Amino acid sequence: MPELQVIDLSRPVDESTYVLAEMAGYTDPPIRFETWTSIEDKGYTVTAIHMGAHAGTHCDVSSHYVQGGRTITDFPASDFVGPAAIADFRGLGPIGPEALDSLREALRTAAEAVVIFRNTPDDPLTPEARRLLVEMRPKLVVAGEGWNLDENYYESDAFHRADIPLILNPDLDALNLVEDGDLIIALPLKLVRLEASPVRLVAVRGLGLTRHAPSPPKEEKTTT
């Protein structure tokens, strides 16, 4: 049996971890770790954690935006595990529907695949491509850097309305190491009635899972 390799795709969480803030005045709760009991005082350590459900690498589900939508515990654990299907669109500019052809084939041959999205702020999904990706019904999408850019959150809202969970804020450098067919595990905490949860996102290689169609070839951008 080949040696297993585990790639940690999660960002560390501490009191310096970035939390979302908007010009309109919204901010996620700050992260605080507080000593509840100490070894010196009680003979054991317990830490109190204060943070929002969207801190660090986390999973959003439909109730984040949809009234009456499903919460974290409405999804079985199996919905957060599956072989990777890489969608690498870095450097391609705005992503149109034609760029999704290879991903459509990957999802046709492996319905349980987890889409790993690689794009930058210069490579956004066009509205047509976004609609097409939603219609493909991936079980889970791990979002790249060029995700959730609009202040009205129209990108992720389309996926929430379609009841497709999103993994946000992964370690982007580690995400670039993932290959088609790696087993993706993104298990959220079993937090009842919540719209999101932190996850420990990992890719496991060496299980002999089926590899998928390659990502579209990159092309040089041209200017006129």
Is pLDDT larger for residue 219 or for residue 119? 119
Q: Share the mean pLDDT of the chain.
A: 88
168 CB-near residues (< 8 Å, 6+ apart):
54, 57, 58, 59, 60, 143, 147, 148, 156
pLDDT over 80 at 24, yes or no: no
Residue 4 banded pLDDT, cuts 50, 70, 90: very high
pTM: 0.87
Residue 181 near residue 209, CB atoms below 8 Å: yes
Range 204-218 burial, b when 16+ CB lie within 10 A, else e: bbeeebebbbebbee
pLDDT in the model for residue 224: 44
pLDDT 10s digits, 142-199: 998 877 555 455 566 889 999 999 999 999 999 999 999 999 999 999 999 999 999 9
> For the chain, what percent of residues have pLDDT higher than 90?
67
Q: pLDDT per residue over 82-135, tens digit each?
A: 999 999 999 988 999 999 998 988 888 887 999 999 998 888 888 899 999 999
* Cα 90 from Cα 128, distance rounded (Å): 18
Give residue 20's pLDDT. Answer: 77
Q: What domains sit in the chain, N to C, each tagged with a CATH number? A: 5-10+53-205 (3.50.30.50)
pLDDT of res. 145:
87
Residues 6+ apart with CB under 8 A from 107: 85, 113, 115, 136, 137, 138
* pLDDT computed for residue 151 by the predictor: 41
